[in-house]
Chains A and B, each alone.
Chain A
Amino acid sequence: MWTTIGRLVEHEPNSTLRNPNRKSNHMNIAHKADFNNENRFELFLLDDNEKKVEWEEETRIPNTAVFTFNKEDHTLGNLLSSRLHKYDYVTFSAYKVPHPLFAKFELRVTTNGSISPKDAIVKCCKDIVQDLEVLSRSFTTEWLGKRIVHEGEAERLAREREI
């Protein structure tokens, strides 16, 4: 009488929807709330033994190195390469994302020799962290001020309504 038109997900041995905690598979199915793209965390989690930054000296050109940032994207790539342009001792810096499906970018840095490319990046990162700290402070101060004014006004309006 019954014709099989497909397998129920809970009967599929490889199904991620099967809930291993349940003894019986009767009527209980665990779903990912959205189970497309199971492996999206590969965009930002380092694999085992994978390093955040790897680098290689460029042998043909002095004071040059190519840094590979794993599990990072344009957020950091553009930030570092543009910021490095601000330093006089950096003569070249640019980044590329070799392939859009792999979460990594390469940053190539050349300095004038007074500092190594690696130290140039470290200095650059520290300066950005400082700027962000200043920004954060200014932001919180201003936000609190603005909210106090805002809430005071709301309170005053509420009081006026009561009267």
Chain B
Amino acid sequence: MDPYDIEGGAINVRFLHADSTRANFLIQNFDLATANALRRVMLSEVPTMAIDVVEVIDNTSVLADEFICHRLGLIPLNSKNVDDVLYSRDCDCEGYCEQCSVVLTLNARCTGNEVMKVYARDLVVSEGRPNDEVGNPVITDPEGLGSVIVKLRKGQSIHMRCIAKKGIAKEHAKWAPSAAIGFEYDPNNKLRHLDYWYEEDAKKEWPVDEHNANIDGAPQEGEAFDYDAVPTRFFFDVETVGGLEPDQIVTQGIKQLQQKLAGVIHELQGNDGMNGADDFGGAQSPQMNGAGYGGQDAGYTTPYGNASVWGGGGGTTPYGATPYGGPGGSGW
């Protein structure tokens, strides 16, 4: 029996490493298309906060306005519970307001003879925002400085008003929640999906992640090639930029993907008029459930809670209760 997959055929997760910046895990009994879709969604469709518009009130530093504005845009901002923030384009306000943006002010002047560095910690977050954390500049260094924005010499100053909005990395990479996502399957190339060029000996020259390769099990000497084999174990290594905890990136990614699919279900079934009860376990179909997807996720309570993405509307959700809960619940 596979020591890393004690749950048999059910989809399950095993962690190799977890801390505040990184989640290194493997998903077992999963399929390649879904794993890759999840990877892509985590890269580009998980919403975060980033500075989007900057009003330049004063800038006598050596850097051009646009240059500094671009740097400001790239500063990671806390995006915890970013669900509380509306997309600016969906908001009723003109421009921006407290429900769809966070205003950060940067006001610095160098008066001493030394060169002064302006850091992310110097961004002052204004009162009135969707929740207490969202929009705070991410500061992880022991000195509590954050990233450097600009350097000033004596007499130089900058004064800028930055409007941070919610967005996704499909629009601009500054909204990307993850710095990098490692993704691998079949590290020993047993399935022969890879065919790298080599000089003399593929075994010696091909790069292999030894750790992952050990987990996945080395091929037996002279083992016959299995033409029907498909990858089932996927190695993920999600590293956060700082705005979201690494687990949040994954759970939000899953949620986004589910909402995407729910949108398709809704669109295809909605055209028939509601055809009511459907074929999964007598459960209610997601689109019958009121406040599920689409608009504001009113029903989504906590990422750790039992409420599923379809929550709200009251009562048991189609995926909330037991049918798919325990191990061994699914698999095809």
Interface residues of A (CB under 8 A from B): 19, 21, 27-35, 37, 40-41, 43-45, 51-53, 69, 72, 74-76, 78-80, 82-83, 86, 118, 121-123, 125-147, 150
Chain B min CB distance to A49 (Å): 14
Known: A32-B69, A83-B34. 13 other contacts (CB 8 A): A31-B54, A33-B52, A37-B172, A52-B263, A53-B267, A83-B33, A121-B264, A122-B265, A128-B261, A129-B258, A131-B34, A132-B257, A142-B12
Chain B min CB distance to A104 (Å): 14
B332 with A127: CB separation less than 8 A:
yes
B170 with A40: CB separation less than 8 A:
yes
Closest A residue to B251 by CB, please name it. A136
- With contacts A31-B53, A33-B54 taken as known, whether A78 is within 8 angstroms of B33 at the C-beta atoms is yes
Can you identify 22 A-B contacts, CB atoms within 8 angstroms?
A21-B95, A30-B56, A31-B56, A32-B53, A32-B54, A33-B50, A33-B174, A41-B89, A43-B170, A75-B40, A75-B45, A82-B31, A83-B33, A83-B34, A122-B269, A125-B264, A132-B258, A134-B324, A139-B13, A139-B25, A139-B251, A140-B304
A137 with B325: CB separation less than 8 A:
yes
In the docked arrangement, what's the CA distance between A30 and B260, Å? 34
Please encode chain B, from 244 to 256, with 1 for each CB lying within 8 Å of some chain A CB and 0 for all others. 0001001100110
Is B19 close to A, CB under 8 A?
yes
In the docked arrangement, what's the CA distance between A136 and B306, Å? 11
Partner of B170, one of A44, A78, A121, A146: A44
In the docked arrangement, what's the CA distance between A69 and B264, Å? 9
Chain B min CB distance to A141 (Å): 8
Which A residues are CB-close (under 8 A) to B265?
122, 125-126, 129
Which A residues are CB-close (under 8 A) to B267?
51-53
Which B residues are CB-close (under 8 A) to A130?
280, 319, 324, 330
Is B262 close to A, CB under 8 A?
yes
7 A-B pairs with least C-beta separation: A33-B73, A82-B33, A146-B18, A79-B37, A146-B15, A133-B319, A75-B40
Which B residues are CB-close (under 8 A) to A34?
69-70, 73, 172, 174
Partner of B55, one of A29, A80, A129: A29
Complex interface residues of chain B between 170 and 208 (CB less than 8 A to chain A): 170-172, 174
Chain B min CB distance to A26 (Å): 11
Chain A min CB distance to B38 (Å): 8
In the docked arrangement, what's the CA distance between A29 and B160, Å? 10
A126 with B41: CB separation less than 8 A:
no
Which A residues are CB-close (under 8 A) to B14?
142
